[in-house]
Every structure is written in structure tokens, then in C-alpha cells.
Structure 1
Amino acid sequence: MSNNGTDLTTGFISCIVAILLFGSNFVPLKKYETGDGMFLQWVLCAAVWLVALVVNLILHCPKFWPFAMVGGCIWATGNIAVVPIIKTIGLGLGILIWGSFNALTGWASSRFGWFGMDAEEVSKPLLNYVGAGLSVVSAFIFLFIKSEIPNNTHSVDTTPLITEHVINKTQDRDPDYSWVDKLSTMQNRLVGCSLAVISGILYGSTFVPIIYIKDHSKRNDSIYVGASQNDLDYVFAHFSGIFLTSTVYFLAYCVAMKNSPKLYPKAVLPGFLSGVLWAIATCCWFIANHSLSPVGPGFIAAMWGVFMFKEIQGRQNYLLMILAFCIILTGALCTAFSKI
């Protein structure tokens, strides 16, 4: 009982830390120019890999499984869209949408045993499906919440950088502005929500290779027999996949830009900090793998968007957000109780 109690306490503490950091890790970038996000992506992923290296050394270099890198490749692919998403629909709403679809994809893949994983058994299947259904409803509601971006771009501290498109169009455009800044308001909405859904689905699939290895480690006829059941032992391989993929994408971007990529020096330190925060959050997520809730990261991000950056405004939007949170919280509780 003592060990179980300690594990549960560790799990909840890790879960809380992950929620706080996942909901806040992009905040350092809010005030800095990031352009199309490709340079930022590479800086962020470099920081992620360095954290993984430290964790790997602390764990005394557990066995490296190359297949776990595939999850990192999937994550890096979804992460390419982060800057366009935040520029079009905002930090809070972006994380709310991709977080919801992340959770739904993770639930479905584990519940039904997709991609060769062992299907999860629950003691109350109906309650489990109700929880998932409520999550779908909440994700649908998030799509109707509108984000508003302040028009004042001349203030000393509001030259937003993960800045949204709703800026005075009569002003001269910086030639370094990304393609996102050329979209209309309706196109912004459509592109932002669509990319957030796609990123969420990719994020929800990122841990599939690790779960696959762990499930097949129990099978004597598998090449993964004897593989570790400790999620942290796969951090280095997973994060190496992230850094490798982001490097390939950045090199391809440099080729496409004819060796004239858009670089933003002022975004280096904020980007690095963002990567470190994300990496720590993911390590905590690994530790708290069985205690996670889809509500937390989105809630924290929404609070940043509402109170700090004033992205989500208006009574209707507030009511929709509160309704969606109540529904998703109910769904999370249903899913949790279905396993008891």
C-alpha cells in the first residue's frame, strides 16, 4: 500500500507540473517575432534534445530503441503548425483545440488497440464511452469560440510575435512577414482551426510507438521482448526523433528558401526556454502516464489567453468556454471512474 500510495502521489504531482508547463510553455514566445516558425521549431527542438540527453545520463543510458524515434517524428510534424495556429486563432484557443483532439486520439488508439497496441480493458465500458463522447462535444464547442487580438502594434511591449493576423491592414507590411499574415479573417479562422485539429491528432499519436514496444515486450516472439516498462527510458529515443525530424525539415526549408531562411535572433532564448519547459513537461507526462487529464493544459493556456493576452473576449465566448470546460471535466471524471 505504501508503494502504491507513493506512486499515486508522484503521479499526481507529475501530472500537475505537466499541466502547468504544457499550458505555459509557449508564453515566452508571445512577444517575439517568429516569422513562419521554421527557425523557432529547430531552436525549440534542439532544447528538447538537450534535456533528453541530461535525462538519459541520469538514467544511466537505458537501451535505445530506434522505433521510439517514430513518435518524435510524428510530434515534430505536428509541431510545425504551432506558430501558424497561434498567429491565426491565438495561444489559448489553439491549445484548447489541439489538446482536445490529442486526448481523443490517445483515448481511441489505446481503447481500441489501434496500430498493433493492446486494447485497454475497462470495468465500465459504457461510462468510458460517455466520457469520450463528452470530450467530443467539448472539442466541437471549442471550434465556436472566437479569439480577438489587440490592434495596437505600436506599444513598446506589444509587438506580438506569435502575433495574430487581425492587425491594421493599412500599415506597411514587413517583407519578412509570413504567409499567415496575408490571410483574411475567415481564412485565418479556417486555417487555424484545421491546423489545430491536425496537430492534435498527430500529438495524440506520438506515444503510440512507445506503447507498442512496451506491449510487445511481454511477447516471447517479439523483437522487443524484455523492453523496459518505464516510460522515461524511452525519452532519449523519442526526443532524438524530434530533433532529427525538425533538423530535416529546417534543412528542407533552407533549400526551399534558396539558402536564405528567415532567422530571428531575438527568438532564440525564448524558443530555447520554451523547448526546455516542454521537455520537462513531457518527462512529467511520462511519469504520470496513467493519471493524465485532457483538461489541464488547455485550461492553463486559456487563462493566459484570457487574462494576459486578452485573446478570448466577450460574454458569449466566456460562456462557451466555461460550458466546454464543464463538459470536458465531466467526461474526464467518467473516463477515470470507468477504470475503477
Structure 2
Amino acid sequence: MSSNATAPAVGYISCSVAVLLFGSNFVPLKKYDTGDGMFLQWVLCAAIWLVAVVVNLILRCPKFWPFAMLGGCVWATGNIAVVPIIKTIGLGLGMLIWGSFNALTGWASSRFGWFGMEAQEVPRPLLNYVGAGLSVVSAFIFLFIKSEIPNNTCPMDVTPLMTEHVINSAQDSCPSDRGNTWVDKLSVAHHRLVGCSLAVISGILYGSTFVPILYIKDHSKRNDSVYAGASQYDLDYVFAHFTGIFLTSTVYFLAYCIIMKNSPKLHPAAVLPGFLSGVLWAVATCCWLLANHSLSAVVSFPIITAGPGLIAAMWGVFMFKEIQGLKNYLLLMLAFCVITTGALCTAFSKV
């Protein structure tokens, strides 16, 4: 690992890459029919696990700690709701909401030592508190931003962002099974309520995903702990963490197949975009773990979890036209200012 002088630089660069990739990883899927999301979840998680295999080989197979898999289970549980969230309130608004609650949960658990972890200190705690508080304020601002998501209709623009070479060109551009999921059967009034609620729940689960890794690292310093001598390098746990993600998603998909009486809704056109989305997410998470190691989770969490919302909102405004209207634009600008200020306060609290 880099020296103490360059560690913060590595951490902030890792944060920047993670923010960009997290804010863009669902973009390849946006114009594909993903159904209820269960098949997509499994494809995405398979790609994540393959990235973990490569990283694990590069790191020369560090010791596998099964407890680190629990964080992957928590993440996979929260990720089930992603497709319904995007269908109800859109990619930009959904990511902004779950990112804010992700930031708050991850920051608080690290700062105050929840779940049996040691509380993490920073040189300037006041700035750290202000940064986390602004992330919470931004979440409430995002709740007032209205997104335009077509309900039970076939959108005019269904051109995929990835070129389809394998799919039959004569395939109907508006599939007959579109609108058959439980999300599409919701009323317009319930769309926003369900989408925002699921985004909050997913954000809380996402914010807890690194707790097992941080717990192992904290207890590795105790001679009487079963984790005594465990690695302090966060990337050493990526294989266990991603394995937990893949195993949990596989269990959920098998349960889904049973519930669907062995007739799951598969969407072949979403396989390659879903795989690409999983790879982008996995690389972003590896960068996040590097940032945790260089900056500590109490600094990296508010930056990495809040920043992707800005990137996703830009996609929502300029590419997908989900967020429109002067009022929404002004609210977005206010939210951006608040969340950027919060990220800067959090970053400077480490200096």
C-alpha cells in the first residue's frame, strides 16, 4: 500500500472513480425491459462474483473470512428493490434517495461504533458532523423532486444504449409482457410512495453492507478474538463479500423460480447490459474499499454514497428526460449545492 503521505490522494482518487461508476452502472440497462428484476439481479451478481475472482487472484488469495459474506447478503437483499425503484420513481431520483440514506447509515455506524465496532475519530469532528447532516438534508430535498416515468405505456424511445446483435430484429419493440409485473399494476398515486419507501429501505441496507468487514478489522487487534491477526487491508475481504452477494442472489432467484412454478420471467436482451452493469458496480466497490482503507469509512461513506446521485441525476436530466420543469431543476441545483458542500466538509474533516 502507499505511504502515509500519498494514502489520502489514493483515497480521494478512489472516491472519484467510485462516484462516477456508481452513478452510471445502471445506465446500460435503462432502455431494456428487465421485468420484475429477479433475473437481472442474478446476472448482475454473477458478473460481480467473476470480478471478485480476478481481484482475489491478483491479491494471491488472502484468507477467506466467512463472516464477511454477511455484508454481501445484506447488499443483495437491498438490491432486489432496484428495478421496482427505477420503474416507479426513475434512476436519478431513486439513486439520490437511497444514496443519501446509505450515506447516513454507513457514516453513523462507523462514527459512533454501532454493531460492536470501534468508533472512528477524525481530526475535525465538527466538519464531519456538518457533512453527514447535509447529506440528510439533501435526502429530504430529493423527495420533492418529481420524475416523469411512463406508467403502463410503451415509451416512444426504446432504443437500447447497447447495440443488439443477437436479438431478432423483427422482435416487437414493445413486448407484450411489459406491464405484467406488480410494479406496473400500481396506481399512479402509489408509484411515488412505493418507490420512495423502497429506496429508503435499500439505502439503509446498503449502508450496512461493510459492517462485517469493519467488525473483523476492529476485532483483529484483540488477541482474545477469533479474528485476531486478520488483515487490515479492505480489499482482502472483497472475495468473501462478493461471494455472499452471489450466493444470496442465487438463493433468491431459486426461490423466485419456485414461486413462479418454474416459469420465471427471463429477459435475454438484458443479459449483456446486466453483466456490464455488474462489472461497473464491482469495480466501483473495489475502489470504495480502497478509499475506506486510505481515508476510513467515516470519511469515504458520505462522499461515495452521496456523489453518485449527482451523476445519476445528470443522466436523468440530459439522457432519459426523467426530471423536467423549472421547479425540479431549481430543487436539483439546491440539492447539488447541499450535497457538494457536505462532501467537501467530510473530506476536509480528515485533513
Could you tell me the TM-score, scaled by structure 1's length? 0.92
Runs of 5+ consecutive residues of structure 1 not aligned to the other structure: 161-170
Question: Structure 1's 172 and 339: CA in aligned 2 closer, same or farther, altered over 3 A?
Answer: closer
Task: Give the whole-Å Cα distance in 1 for the aligned partners of 2:44 and 2:240.
Answer: 17
Residue equivalent to 2:107: 107
Query: CA offsets, 1:25-64, max 9 Å, x none?
Result: 0011011110000000000000000000010011110000
Secondary structure of the corresponding residue to residue 12 of structure 2: helix
Q: What letter is aligned with 2:291? A: A
Residue equivalent to 1:333: 344
Question: Structure 1's 220 and 192: CA in aligned 2 closer, same or farther, altered over 3 A?
Answer: same
Query: CA offsets, 1:207-266, max 9 Å, x none?
Result: 000000000000111010110011100000000000000000000001111111111111
Residue 9 of structure 1 and its aligned partner are, at CA, apart by 2.9
Q: What letter is aligned with 2:154? A: T
Answer with 266-275 or 10-19: which moved more: 10-19
Task: Give the whole-Å Cα distance in 2 for the aligned partners of 1:68 and 1:91.
Answer: 29
Question: Structure 1's 306 and 40: CA in aligned 2 closer, same or farther, altered over 3 A?
Answer: same
Residue equivalent to 1:188: 191
Residue equivalent to 1:167: none
Residue equivalent to 1:218: 221
Task: Give the whole-Å Cα distance in 1 for the aligned partners of 2:216 and 2:142.
Answer: 34
1:217-296 correspondence to structure 2 within 5 Å = 217-289=220-292, 290=295, 292=300, 293=303, 294-296=305-307
Query: CA offsets, 1:288-327, max 9 Å, x none?
Result: 1226314321111111011000011111111111111211
Task: Give the whole-Å Cα distance in 2 for the aligned partners of 1:206 and 1:69.
Answer: 9
Matched, 1:157 2:158: yes
Q: 1:300 aligns with which of 296, 311, 336?
A: 311
Q: What letter is aligned with 1:11? A: G
Question: Structure 1's 176 and 328: CA in aligned 2 closer, same or farther, altered over 3 A?
Answer: closer
8 A contact 1:109–1:115 mirrored in 2: yes
Task: Give the whole-Å Cα distance in 1 for the aligned partners of 2:107 and 2:178.
Answer: 43
Secondary structure of the corresponding residue to residue 267 of structure 1: helix
**Percent identical across equivalent pairs?**
80
Residue 339 of structure 1 and its aligned partner are, at CA, apart by 3.6
Residue 173 of structure 1 and its aligned partner are, at CA, apart by 6.3
Task: Give the whole-Å Cα distance in 1 for the aligned partners of 2:345 and 2:118.
Answer: 22
8 A contact 1:67–1:209 mirrored in 2: yes
8 A contact 1:44–1:274 mirrored in 2: yes
Q: What letter is aligned with 1:305? A: G
Task: Give the whole-Å Cα distance in 2 for the aligned partners of 1:154 and 1:186.
Answer: 20
8 A contact 2:179–2:185 mirrored in 1: no
Secondary structure of the corresponding residue to residue 181 of structure 1: coil
8 A contact 1:110–1:120 mirrored in 2: yes
Task: Give the whole-Å Cα distance in 2 for the aligned partners of 1:173 and 1:66.
Answer: 43
Task: Give the whole-Å Cα distance in 2 for the aligned partners of 1:247 and 1:138.
Answer: 35
Question: Structure 1's 311 and 108: CA in aligned 2 closer, same or farther, altered over 3 A?
Answer: same
Task: Give the whole-Å Cα distance in 2 for the aligned partners of 1:187 and 1:54.
Answer: 43
Secondary structure of the corresponding residue to residue 3 of structure 1: coil
8 A contact 1:142–1:324 mirrored in 2: yes
Task: Give the whole-Å Cα distance in 1 for the aligned partners of 2:70 and 2:143.
Answer: 30
8 A contact 1:295–1:325 mirrored in 2: no
8 A contact 2:93–2:147 mirrored in 1: yes
Secondary structure of the corresponding residue to residue 61 of structure 1: coil
8 A contact 1:216–1:224 mirrored in 2: yes
Residue equivalent to 1:63: 63
Task: Give the whole-Å Cα distance in 1 for the aligned partners of 2:316 and 2:178.
Answer: 28
Moved over 6 A (4+): none
1:82-93 correspondence to structure 2 within 5 Å = 82-93=82-93
Secondary structure of the corresponding residue to residue 183 of structure 2: helix
Task: Give the whole-Å Cα distance in 2 for the aligned partners of 1:324 and 1:150.
Answer: 24
Residue equivalent to 2:143: 143
Runs of 5+ consecutive residues of structure 2 not aligned to the other structure: 162-173
Answer with 252-261 or 9-18: which moved more: 9-18
Could you tell me the TM-score, scaled by structure 2's length? 0.89
The CA RMSD measured in Å over matched residues stands at: 2.0
Residue equivalent to 2:128: 128
Q: What letter is aligned with 2:75? A: W
